[in-house]
């Protein structure tokens, strides 16, 4: 087991029963396919970026790993142990080593609790034997570590800016010395300048503390700055995965290419001169996903064969896989 990755997600599936509005009590519920067959590995000290537009299943994957929502199938292995087979005591213990930073920094904090109490809560809950002096020392240490002043310990969340609230959330996630921190779109509600500060803080903490990170966002330009590898999702399925630089420089899947082309270039002349292709149509409903490749209804390269069956993840290069058989062959030819 020593050679096992820190985290291995194997064919993860998450479905929800949805009852149509106004339906009779005996009406059968519909199946919402939030995540279908997602697989990846995460090594110790690595940062995995998960990117995709809203509705792609990114946050659902994160919540399934933390076990705030139940998985419908597959395996989630933590150091070789399947989280889905753990009992209540084992799951509670796992929450100490895997923490989460949420999207809306202010909504994630209890408005009736002081900042010191918010940060200390996980430590008090999971390790009630910890002395008050040690809790206070640990809280002050973490506040300083994330860029907050010690004299702010007795303030309430509404007295802080969005960026400061996210720093509070990060300190709260670190209070138990976790090995894995999942960041679910932690900068999407922040200004651009504040986004950079929070991303730099996370990268610094990851490096200094040896953390493993899963960084979720819908903006590829944000994900590429912090990630070692990137996984691209669309409608609950993985479209492409590769090292961050490789994915940006040589995107293979048509969906990944559209995301890369949507990233703005700082030079105004280059940005205005280049083409800006737009994906046609809307994201299909997860209640009735398309047959075969889920991206085929919006793909400019779609063929009748794309509707026949689910595409496999095909190798393009070392550590680089794509779910599009047509462009995967082209990508291998380009790299040869």
pLDDT tier at 164 (50, 70, 90 boundaries)?
A: very high
Distances from the Cα of 280 to the Cα of 51, 201, 277, angstroms:
19, 37, 9
**Rg (Cα) of the chain, in Å, rounded?**
21
- Strand order of the β-sheet with 73-78 is 30-42, 7-18, 73-78, 81-82
Largest Cα–Cα distance in the chain? Answer: 67
Residue range 177-189, pLDDT digits in tens: 999 999 999 988 7
Compute the average pLDDT of residues 24-34.
Answer: 85
Predicted TM-score of the model (pTM): 0.91
pLDDT of residue 226: 92
pLDDT of residue 2: 54
Question: The dihedral of CA 286, 292, 293, 296: what is its sign?
Answer: negative
For residues 130 and 144, give the distance between their C-alpha atoms in angstroms, rounded to a whole number: 20
**Residues forming beta bridges with residue 98, ordered by sequence position:** 180
pLDDT of residue 1: 44
Distances from the Cα of 156 to the Cα of 34, 99, 113, 135, 166, angstroms:
36, 22, 6, 18, 13
Q: At what angle do helices 162-174 and 115-126 cross, to 10 degrees?
A: 20
Region 7-249: CATH code: 3.40.50.300
Distances from the Cα of 145 to the Cα of 96, 118, 121, 163, angstroms:
20, 16, 18, 15
Residue range 314-333, pLDDT digits in tens: 999 899 999 998 887 666 55
Residue range 209-237, pLDDT digits in tens: 999 999 999 888 889 889 999 999 999 99
- What is the number of other CB atoms lying within 10 angstroms of the CB of residue 68? 10
Question: Domains of the chain: which residue ranges?
Answer: 7-249
- Average per-residue pLDDT for the chain: 89
**Which ranges constitute the DSSP H helices of the chain?**
58-66, 88-94, 115-126, 132-145, 162-174, 192-209, 220-223, 244-249, 254-261, 268-273, 325-335
Please, which residues have CB within 8 angstroms of residue 147's CB and are 6 or more apart in sequence? 167, 197, 201
Distances from the Cα of 189 to the Cα of 163, 194, 204, 262, angstroms:
9, 10, 21, 20
């Amino acid at each position: 087991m020593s050679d096992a990755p820190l985290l291995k997600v194997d064919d993860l599936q998450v479905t929800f029963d949805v009852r149509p509005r106004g339906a009779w009590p005996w009406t059968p519920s519909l199946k919402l396919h939030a995540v279908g067959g997602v697989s990846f590995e995460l090594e110790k000290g690595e940062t995995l970026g998960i990117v995709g537009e809203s509705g792609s299943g990114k946050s659902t994957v994160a919540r399934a790993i933390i076990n705030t929502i139940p998985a419908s199938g597959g395996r989630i292995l933590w150091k070789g142990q399947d989280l889905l087979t753990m009992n209540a005591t084992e799951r509670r213990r796992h929450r100490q080593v895997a923490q989460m930073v949420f999207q809306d920094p202010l909504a994630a904090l209890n408005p009736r609790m002081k900042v010191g109490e918010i940060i200390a809560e996980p430590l008090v809950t999971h390790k009630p034997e910890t002395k008050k002096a040690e809790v206070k020392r640990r809280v002050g240490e973490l506040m300083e570590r994330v860029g907050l002043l010690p004299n702010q310990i007795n303030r309430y969340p509404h007295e802080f800016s969005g960026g400061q609230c996210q720093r509070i959330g990060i300190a709260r996630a670190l209070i138990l010395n976790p090995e894995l921190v999942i960041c679910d779109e932690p900068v999407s509600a922040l200004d651009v300048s504040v986004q950079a500060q929070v991303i730099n803080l996370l990268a610094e903490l990851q490096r200094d503390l040896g953390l493993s990170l899963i960084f979720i966002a819908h903006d590829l330009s944000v994900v590429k700055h912090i990630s070692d590898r990137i996984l691209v999702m669309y409608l609950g399925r993985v479209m492409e995965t590769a090292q961050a630089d490789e994915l940006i420089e040589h995107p293979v899947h048509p969906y990944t290419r559209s995301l890369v082309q949507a990233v703005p270039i700082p030079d105004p002349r280059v940005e205005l001169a280049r083409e800006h292709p737009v994906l046609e149509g809307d994201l299909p409903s997860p209640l009735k996903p398309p047959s075969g490749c889920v991206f085929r209804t919006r793909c400019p390269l779609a063929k009748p064969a794309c509707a026949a069956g689910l595409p496999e993840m095909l190798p393009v290069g070392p550590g680089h896989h794509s779910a599009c058989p047509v462009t995967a062959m082209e990508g291998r030819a380009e790299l040869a």
